[in-house]
Chains A and B, each alone.
Chain A
Amino acid sequence: MKQSTSSDALLVSAYMKGNESALAELVTRHKQRIFSFIYSKVYDRDIAEDIFQDTFIKVIKTLKRGAYNEEGKFLPWVMRISHNLVIDHFRRNNRMPKFANNTDFNIFSVLSDSTLNIERQIIKGQVEDDVRRLIEELPDDQKEVLMMRIYKDLSFKEISEQTGVSINTALGRMRYALINLRKVIEKHNIILTN
């Protein structure tokens, strides 16, 4: 009861001495005026919330650092901080104009995030593991050609040089490797899609 009748200066002083409830009282006392002021400038509730929060973060830091010296003028000081933050907000928005979606056009219909989410990353890893295990089951000559072509990205000419077989043999081994992989996949109903 005593606190609610205390002046702002007394509450500020108490807060600077470590009384956290004094800040709660100050916020409760002035939140409506400060928030309405910010909202009247930005006309966006979320932005107003952010600026209100940033205002008090600045207030808290200044008071805790003992750098406040405007005793008795707490509200005008806080309003000035919020005013400066509103100006910062508009400056930032001018540099980086905000695109607001409307009902006719949604920017996300043309922009998409091509990176995989965690679930898809896991599925991709599992599919790659399955493919690797299937490749391990192939006969060695087919496996060798497939690994060189797909994983090492060698041309069939390079494969034929490295394995000492003709290009046609290398092509044939690759063909049989793929046929065999398809057979195993179909036989066991293995799903290899993400």
Chain B
Amino acid sequence: MQKSYLKNSRMDSVTNNMVPKEETIRFILDYSSALSVIDYKMMKFEALLN
């Protein structure tokens, strides 16, 4: 009884097995592959190369 009152019902919906979608991961990895940072005279430029 005590347990059911102490348990946060909202937390029940958050399982520890939640993972992002595969396409989100793919996007991140593709973004990383495409991004290159170019150093030029103390400055850094980001370039996305597809």
A60 pairs with B20, CB closer than 8 A: no
Interface size on A, residues (CB 8 A): 23
Which of these, A27, A65, A66, contacts B29 with CB under 8 Å? Answer: A27
A24–B46 Cα gap in the complex (Å)?
21
A61 touches B16 (CB 8 A): no
The interface residues of chain B, by DSSP majority, are classed as mixed
Which residues of chain B are near A60, meaning CB under 8 Å? 28, 31-32, 35
Count of chain B residues with a beta carbon within 8 Å of a chain A beta carbon: 24
Q: Determine whether the beta carbon of A32 is less than 8 Å from that of B17.
A: yes
B24 & A39 in contact (Cβ 8 Å cutoff):
no
Inter-chain contact B10/A43, CB cutoff 8 Å: yes
Q: Are B35 and A36 in contact (CB under 8 A)?
A: no
Shortest distance in angstroms between B40's beta carbon and chain A's nearest beta carbon? Answer: 13
The 4 closest A-B pairs by CB, nearest first: A56-B28, A64-B37, A40-B14, A36-B18
Residues of A within 8 A of B (CB): 20, 23-24, 27-28, 31-32, 35-36, 39-40, 43, 48-49, 52-53, 56-57, 60-61, 64-66
Please report B residues at the A interface, Cβ cutoff 8 Å: 10-11, 13-21, 24-25, 27-29, 31-33, 35-37, 44, 46
